Amino acid sequence: MKTIKGPALFLAQFAGDSAPFDTWDGITKWAKEMVYDGVQVPSWDARLFDLDKAATSKTYCDEWKGQAADNGITVTELSTHLQGQLVAVHPAYDLAFDGFAAPSVHGDPKARQVWAVEQVKKALDASAHLGLTAQATFSGALAWPYVYPWPQRPAGLVEAAFDELAKRWRPILDHAEDRGVDLCYEIHPGEDLHDGVTFEMFLERVGNHKRAKMLYDPSHYVLQCLDYLDNIDIYKDVIGMFHVKDAEFNPTGRQGVYGGYQPWVDRAGRFRSLGDGQVDFGAIFSKMAANDFDGWAVVEWECALKHPEDGAREGAQFVRDHIIRVTPHAFDDFAAGGTDDAMNRKMLGL
Task: Report CA-CA distances (Å) from 90 to 95, 111, 162, 166.
Answer: 10, 14, 12, 15
The pLDDT tens digits for 290-313 are 999 999 999 999 999 999 999 999
Sign of CA dihedral 161, 166, 171, 173: positive
For residue 2, pLDDT beyond 60: yes
Mean pLDDT value across the chain:
96
Kindly state the average pLDDT of the residues 259-266: 97
The 8 Å CB, 24+ separation contacts for 65-68 are 65/130, 65/131, 67/24, 67/25, 67/28, 68/24, 68/28, 68/39
pLDDT tens, residue by residue, 110-149: 999 999 999 999 999 999 999 999 999 999 999 999 999 9
Domains parsed from the chain with CATH numbers: 5-347 (3.20.20.150)
pLDDT of 80 > 80? The answer is yes
Chain-centroid distance, C-alpha 5: 15
Which percentage of the chain shows pLDDT scores above 90? 92
- Burial of residue 46 (CB within 10 Å: 0-12, 13-18, 19+) is exposed
User: What residues form DSSP beta bridges with 214?
Assistant: 185, 239
* pLDDT given at position 343: 85
Cβ of 232: how many Cβ atoms within 10 Å? Answer: 21
- What would the mean pLDDT of 279-296 be, rounded to a whole number? 97
Asked if the model's pLDDT at residue 332 lies above 80, the reply is no
| Average pLDDT, integer, range 12-29 | 98
pLDDT over 80 (residue 157): yes
In the predicted model, what is the mean pLDDT of residues 211-215? 98
Which pLDDT score is estimated for 30?
A: 98
> Over 70: is that where the pLDDT of 181 sits?
yes
CA 82 to CA 101: how far, in whole Å? 8
What integer pLDDT is reported at residue 331 of this predicted model? 62
Q: Which helix (H) or strand (E) holds 6?
A: strand 5-10
